[in-house]
Structure 1
């Protein structure tokens, strides 16, 4: 090998020229040391598809295919506080959220969130910081493809939004990606209500059947099935002629519902027979809402030929009937909203009040 400076021959493996001292071997430049506290980029061992790792505050923040991408990612994190939670999976974020919120939820509330969370199975092992709107949108679209309603898709959005808020607080992500989810358009559901003829049939049967009395009380109060089954005796005031009870929402709790004259005698009878703290404690049938529905409510309606395959008449049909009859009879919007226990009247009109075909025909005839 010839020295490029003095043109003398030197050994091939020489690092310096032994005559003039010129450096002959190319010296690899060392990467400039990053300032303290800004993290580091380093080469991972082994043959990897993503050989470049980054760390900040001693916390491993991920691996990248190129050094440039690793440096770029680390630069983006310079103004962001980094803790162990930065590496949390969505499941770990959910556990953190559960610890804070589940103690204040009812059992049904917990069940609702658990059901929505079960749909996140494909994402449970993913890091929260890597999940974006489109990842969860696929879960929503899958539910739409199965024919699920908008309300069920809203549960997916609801729990994801809650998790995003926790992740934002922990500096894992910068925005609530749930806000950008696309949900199917809501359709006004076609709810079934009891006809006047069916209500008369129930009144005849109520002379000898306690279950029919309870069904009529549901129709004339608008109570949810569990609200009536779990109503305490203290929630019945015969002297003032009112019920005080309810559950589920703030607007629905402890609402006042007048005792309609059509069911006053039934209320008196159940109060006389009450053997415990509950208004219906003297009822010999099932008092659990699930068991009452399947063992008392449905068999009674089937026996009276009110419930058929075409008209399944679920317990909420009593509540729909109450709202529809109230609106048809001219009950004010404000009163009907309070009786139903809704925070907004829109909920009453959109989901509970059903169109009366005969009434609409009658109104149409007014058009000249």
Structure 2
């Protein structure tokens, strides 16, 4: 065994232990007692592993305090650098990802291998979007740990989150979930957009394309829609519950109702990844944007709204383009039906 002139040693601890062999390094001598000042490198299952750890340390000394740093400590150090550079929604996403791998929090990061990361992913009951965020968090944290000589290998690249399953069944938001969205209307950025979709039936792309010129605050209507002939330029009365949300966002100087921090139209991917997913993760919900549209249709149906009115506001193909001439009577009929939603 290499002892490097007395600079380290390997010994076996007493008792029955899972890792009975301990490797220590000599940092100096206590002048008053003449005893060695030693620090533990680690404990190991076999003598061979302990000897290798000692040799590796003596060949390339590192900060032993850093070698014992926990996963949660790396997260704390990394987040202090990362969070001031990203928006609030991104922070919520990272926090949710971290909270979903609690079993790793108190592990030394140098002891965390690919299998530990994979087990954390596999045991997560959340959807694909959450698992992607967890893997991304792993990559960020392990990169930080390597940059700061805490670890020597990045195992995060070996994590497999699997392929997205076939399009899952559309699940409307429950009444309790809708109540929770309203509860956080003042403290979670962009949560209003989810409620607007739930009470209007607009797809995410349709909401992002909605121009202020097509919003009539006086008559409380919105005209928009994409995708199909039946869905284009459909008129939807603004439900009284979301009128204050739309009114707050409305700015005639902006071309679009929903804009990014630059005052421009927000892209679908940016909205979905930076806004929608973090909100779902923070509130512990499992939904996709299209579930908002499904919720609107479900709420109308549950309130016994007129089937024709539902088709008109949703924009189904069965509502032919030739019928889309809205009279005052039409608008009032649609409004009466949309306001059936409580």
Compute the TM-score of the two structures, normalised by the length of structure 1.
0.46
Q: Which has the larger radius of gyration?
A: 1
Q: Which has the higher contact order (CA 8 A, sep 6+)?
A: 2
| Structure-2-length-normalised TM-score | 0.49
